[in-house]
Structure 1
């Protein structure tokens, strides 16, 4: 039996129909559609949620006009055929009003992923999503990696990948470059890993 890995598992419209029917989250899993393939991600645990709260507060203190939108779905991929649900999206507070479940990522300044405790994290958060976000032109991708206790900041997308990736261990400061322009003091992250 030959498995066709270069063909989509389903069409984007079929995935969106599933999502509208309430299948976006099923029994502890979130569904996403990246590179023509449906994937699953574990629903966040309490420490994961606390990391998003921490980052949300920092972003709002930096610029009250911006908001860190948790769980906002986005169109991703070069041809907008993908659908991702980042853990959080930094954009103007009203950026997604009236846009539906899968808005265009044009107003997004940064996407955030916090690793989950599942077997798919490496492929999804460290390989597929950085590529999809860079192809989409999102300026900054922030990966808070609880497996390695590191923060990776991806910037300068060239339409295929991020040209600059800076990784620091939890506890070190890291700069989120423009258009975000925030320095993260990552010491608190040490308290939210297993």
Structure 2
């Protein structure tokens, strides 16, 4: 499917499809390859975090996760059933466990948040390029700029997309999975 959707005149498509089919490199063992289409990466924004290797006697997720532990477990079990994660009885000795937090949306759905900064994973990711997604300031600036030229009758449309659990939907290279482990109850979930 990935290869079938590529267009030969868009040079970044085929390497991306190959990367996904093999499992994505997260940039710790080797830098994420540059495409030449995005701005240069300036390195990690936050530094000084050691890798959070598994420590059973001191492990705790964030309070939000502990308070909704059944929903969190159900959410992770669903990811396992869809093939996005696997359950381990115990992690490899050099695995990095990442604390998770969660937000229960008004709809009752759960949004899991992996704290890859504090686990030390983000700091070790090396990539040559970055994709800087627009934030609230960018959105406010765009509205301000549009208000200078748009009239009341101009048909303006604001489109926002959020791919639910996108982080867990891309397969990870088998050598990098040890950097993406969660622990809930007595189980370990690996991306």
Alignment TM-score > 0.5, same fold:
no
Using CA pairs below 8 Å that are at least 6 residues apart, which structure has the higher relative contact order?
2
Q: Which has the higher strand share?
A: 1
Compare CA radii of gyration and give the structure with the larger one.
2
TM-score under structure 1 length normalisation: 0.28
